[in-house]
Amino acid sequence: MIDYQEVLSRYRPTQEEENKLKIISDDIIRKINSICRSRGLRAEAVIVGSYAKGTNLRDGDLDIFIAFDRDYPEEIINTEGLHIGHAVIPNGREKYAEHPYVSGEIGGVKIDVVPCYKMSFGDKKISAVDRTLLHTEYVNGHLDEKGRDEVRLLKIFTKSIGVYGAEARTFGFSGYLCELLVIRFGSFENVIRYFSKAKGRVLIDLDERFRDPMVLIDPVDPDRNVASPVSLESLSRMKIASKMFLSSPDEGFFQIEHNGKNVQYHDRGTCIMIYSLPKPDLTDDVIYPQVYRFRSVLQKIMESHEIRVISSEIDVSDRIYVLIETPACAEERIRVHTGPPVDTDNAVDFVNSWKARDRSRGPYIVADRLYVDVFTGQRSIEDIVRQEIFNYSIGKNLDRFKKSMEIMKFNVGMKSLPVLDKFFGADVFRK
């Protein structure tokens, strides 16, 4: 059996940390409210996020919203929000979500001060940030002290198996989703039991508008699926982790920090190429979709040369890395070139033009389509990618780095790289 109290004692904030968070947050709230009064603003500070809901883990952040009356125009809350943010966080940096906000650190605690509109249940929603106020209210109204620790256990479990976080890096379970799951099913173990038995799409709420792998409707906004970021992979990981945990409960499912496991690079008799770009100074949610696109462009280039992709991996650390594994490092001598379907107007031209050209064989027909086997120049994959990457967009922030793309060919003796560690260490869970 797992000693849940022991697990919690490792990851729940210490009394000392709680005291510090309280002192810092009380202080900031006092300052914000005082500034609002002195500037005659109808606005007040609100603590949100996991600290406000009592579901925070050790070394967490503080999220403080400045909630403005709803009749202020957007420009006012933007400029006043930044002004107040800078006033309460010395050396804070401006960031941008739905409104601009100020982010910084006080006494070792990461703090965001974000302006928003005051909301009540049933109000027409203004933005995701505004909705957060209602989430805090809802969770505090539905979780007792015991429930908060159950949420903490679920967060630790999902972190441990690599499915915690809704952002593009993970496409997993948000903190709010963990809270709603515990509210819905009553306890951490009930949630795990539920996922261990789930088959196919996980429809906790039946709502045909959503085609996501998992659906749980936001109790404060019936038009929103809280589980919509959860990818099929993350859901699969959660299902099998739940089964494995129930069949043999293991402390390993409550280990957020994994020792870098001993990954052995070895020869797979294949060609592993690593494409690397500088990492722009942008948030994960902006970078990751472009990294996925970069990978899919590389896969498309391989496909267009009939080069089979065996596997791939991505990593965003000091730089952006995409790994593509293929059977060999150059094109094969021949390539099956796919022509038009026979029903198209240019089918005859295809046949006539290829009959006059150098080729291995064909044109010939398979099913309803024309093909011809052509001789390739047996170019190296590196040459092909260096040339053809310019025919594709890999996202507005990455496109300008195409020229400085670095291409490495894996060999067993090469220096360690996170993308290679991820590739060779591929696991059911991202431990």
196 is in an annotated binding site: no
Instruction: Check residue 240 for interaction with a second copy (CB under 8 A).
Output: yes
Q: Are strands 271-278 and 311-316 parallel, antiparallel or unpaired?
A: unpaired
**Shortest Cβ 359–a second copy spacing (Å):** 10
User: Residues 130 to 169: which contact a second copy by CB under 8 A?
Assistant: none
> Of all helices (H) and strands (E), which one includes residue 32?
helix 15-38
Tokens encoding 180: 């709603």
Residue for token pair 């539920």: 194
Looking at the Cβ atoms of 190 and 352, the one nearer to a second copy is 352
50 is in an annotated binding site: yes
Q: Determine the 3-state secondary structure of 14 from DSSP.
A: coil
155 is in an annotated binding site: yes
User: Residues 279 to 338: which contact a second copy by CB under 8 A?
Assistant: 308, 310-311, 327, 332-334, 336
Judged by phi (left if over 0) then psi (alpha if -120 to 50, else beta), residue 405 lies in beta
Instruction: Check residue 121 for interaction with a second copy (CB under 8 A).
Output: no
**Shortest Cβ 213–a second copy spacing (Å):** 8
Measured CA to CA, the distance from residue 372 to residue 336 in angstroms comes to: 6
Residue for token pair 């001993």: 262
**Shortest Cβ 178–a second copy spacing (Å):** 20
Measured CA to CA, the distance from residue 37 to residue 407 in angstroms comes to: 58
**Shortest Cβ 326–a second copy spacing (Å):** 11
63 is in an annotated binding site: yes
The stretch among 90-98, 220-228, 232-240, 295-303 that binds a second copy (CB under 8 A) is: 232-240
Looking at the Cβ atoms of 109 and 334, the one nearer to a second copy is 334
Tokens encoding 145: 């002290």
The stretch among 2-10, 84-92, 174-182, 367-375 that binds a second copy (CB under 8 A) is: 367-375
Cβ contacts of residue 334 below 8 Å, gap of 6+? 360, 373, 374, 375, 376
Count of residues near a second copy by CB under 8 A: 51
DSSP 391: G
User: Residues 12 to 71: which contact a second copy by CB under 8 A?
Assistant: none
Q: Candidates 23, 128, 286, 428: give the one binding a second copy (CB under 8 A).
A: 428
Q: Are 100 and 78 in contact (CB under 8 A)?
A: yes
422 is in an annotated binding site: no
Site string for a second copy, 369-388 (x = CB under 8 A): xx--x----x----------
Measured CA to CA, the distance from residue 226 to residue 178 in angstroms comes to: 10
Cβ contacts of residue 199 below 8 Å, gap of 6+? none
Q: Candidates 16, 145, 281, 343: give the one binding a second copy (CB under 8 A).
A: 343
242 is in an annotated binding site: no
> Of all helices (H) and strands (E), which one includes residue 64?
strand 62-68
Looking at the Cβ atoms of 286 and 366, the one nearer to a second copy is 366
Residue 73 φ/ψ, nearest 5 degrees: -70, 155
Residue 361 φ/ψ, nearest 5 degrees: -165, 165
Looking at the Cβ atoms of 91 and 247, the one nearer to a second copy is 247
Q: What angle do CA 220, 225, 228 make, to 5 degrees?
A: 145
**Shortest Cβ 317–a second copy spacing (Å):** 20
**Shortest Cβ 244–a second copy spacing (Å):** 5
User: How many residues in total does the chain contain?
Assistant: 431
135 is in an annotated binding site: yes
Tokens encoding 339: 């022509």
> Of all helices (H) and strands (E), which one includes residue 102?
strand 100-106
**Shortest Cβ 177–a second copy spacing (Å):** 19
Annotated binding-site residues read 50, 53, 61, 63, 112, 135, 155, 164
Annotated binding-site residues for Mg(2+) read 61, 63, 112
Binding site for a second copy (CB under 8 A): 198-200, 232-233, 235-237, 239-240, 243-244, 247, 266-270, 308, 310-311, 327, 332-334, 336, 342-343, 347-348, 351-352, 360-370, 373, 378, 423-428
